[in-house]
Chains A and B, each alone.
Chain A
Amino acid sequence: MKSENQMKVSFQSLSVNEGFARVAVASFISSLDPTAAEIADIKTAVSEAVTNCIVHAYRDTIGTITIHTKIYPNRRVVVTIKDKGCGIEDIEKAIEPLFTTLPDEERSGLGFSVMQSFTDKMRVRSKVGKGTSVVLEKILSKKAERR
């Protein structure tokens, strides 16, 4: 299906860019007039994905993170967060709630759990040594359906 509108943004994997990344996506979808809760959900999910790129994918290095946001008919928003970092060996394990490779840095191991509960669909593709892409999908409520 063809998207109605799309936006692509690339930036360096510096933690200072986490705020920029989630705000960039939130501003782009604001044309759909989402609810405050929907904006918060998307910002939180994007923040988790971007943090994963910085903390895990490009650990001890600096690389490029690309976010591609597409708007499809029926208010379907698809956000793809891509890195060319180390990749994930065992995706199933990585997604498991509370699983973390960095407990000493107070990573809670709940990044993917948050992404899953704050979106309608999440897909993770990864190749060790090549990189990871996380696809987050959310269908925004129609204004007429809102209370």
Chain B
Amino acid sequence: MPAKITQDEDKLTVYLSGEIDHHSCVQIREQADTEIMKIHPKEVVLDFKDVTFMDSSGIGLVMGRYRLASSYGGVITITEASAYLKRVMRIAGLDSIVNIKQTASKEELN
């Protein structure tokens, strides 16, 4: 499924959705990179609100965008990741290279 991408001045937000695996990554990657290369936003926000599944391919996806943004001085922010997604991200130590915004997930609210 194509990702929704919005731009607000220096901020580009990529709304990811569904299942992120090796198969679905390709399209998201191409789509996001086209916009990132065009705009060179200061901040790239990856919104995980509608992501229902992610394996290590998602880690590669975040790391790849991190490298791309870093190459021109941009930063990556992750928002709305559920407790499960954060667990996958922590295995990679993603929290040490990108800003993972703390948002109360459904599990944490219950």
Contact = CB atoms under 8 A, between A and B. Distances in A.
- Say whether A and B bind each other: yes
Interface of A: 15-16, 18-19, 22, 37, 40, 43-44, 47-48, 51, 54-55, 105-108, 110-111, 113-114, 117
Interface size class of B (residues with CB under 8 A): 20 to 34
Contacts of B92: 108, 110
Contacts of A44: 53-55, 88
Contacts, number: 61
A108 B89 CA distance: 11
Q: Is the interface of A mostly helix, strand, loop or mixed?
A: helix
Contacts of A108: 56-57, 59-60, 63, 92
B56 A110 contact: yes
Contact of A113 (B29, B53, B91): B91
Interface of B: 19, 21-23, 25, 29, 53-57, 59-61, 63-64, 84, 88, 91-92
Contacts of A111: 55-56
Contacts of B53: 22, 40, 43-44, 47
